[in-house]
Amino acid sequence: METLLLLNRWLHITAGFIGFFVAPAALYVRKGGSAHRFWGRIFFWAMIVAGTTALVAAVLKSLTFLLLTGIFSLYLAWFGYRSIYHKHLSRGEERANRLDWAGVGIGTAVFAGTLAYGLLHLKTNPVPVVFGGIGLFTTLRQARAFRRTGPWPAGQWLLNHISGFVGSYVAAVSAFSATSLTFIPFPLSFLWPTLVIIPPMLWVQQRYKKQFAQGHHPEKVVEVRIQPELG
């Protein structure tokens, strides 16, 4: 068991560090270009590995908070990746499929549980309330979007893509900060990445929204290449 935990720990640390340094590269290069897609894929799989190993450690050590944080990071990485397949929803051509609804359903249940857990431990650990609230807002908003009978607002899938991947990165940085930057007091050690990274993300999204409102198509704002549909 100890060998398994040690191997899982180092795999988690390695994947986390890869994601930590790769995400800025994906954000720096031209959005939608080949370099962006390359670094984005590496970041996505690094987050999948980091999140999965966090779940393994949480289950083996019975760490509820780690379990919920791992699921939070995994869901947002999936949300960001899956959003690039929702371009057709902006045209009203198709509806969300079973894979989309399964992800939203699982995410809603988990984040509702995270929020409930946080409320029960609010005095000692307010972090689950923040992460659970953000996650629940995301899944409920997405479920409402999937139920739309008409086309999505222009570029909504792109805004979701940004939210998902940046949110997953915030979760990774938060976990690193809480475990390694011990000079920062808790819960600020967990929450400062949200306070620092999310406002610039909202500013960028607002800029895109203005361009979409002016009639610019998302394909003109960023280079878009959608892979074959999954699910």
DSSP 167-205: HHHHHHHHHHHHHH-TTSPTTHHHHHHHHHHHHHHHHHH
Contact status, residue 194 vs residue 130, Cβ threshold 8 Å: yes
Asked if residue 165 belongs to a domain, the reply is: yes
Does 125 reside within a domain?
Answer: no
Q: Is residue 135 part of a domain?
A: no
**What total number of domains does the chain contain?**
1
Residue closest to 218 by CA, chosen among 199, 201, 205 = 205
Using one digit for the tens of pLDDT, what is the confidence trace for 44-103?
Answer: 999 899 888 888 888 887 777 777 778 888 888 998 888 888 877 766 666 788 888 998
Residue 31 lies in a domain: yes
pLDDT at 108: 92
| 101 belongs to a structural domain | no
Residue 114 φ then ψ, to 5° = -65, -45
**Is there a domain that residue 74 lies in?**
yes
- Higher-scoring residue by pLDDT: 185, 69: 185
- Rounded CA separation 39/222 (Å): 16
Q: Residue 112 falls within a domain, yes or no? A: no
Residue 49 lies in a domain: yes
Boundaries of domain holding 28: 2-94+154-221
CB–CB of 202/221 below 8 Å?
no
pTM of the entire structure? Answer: 0.81
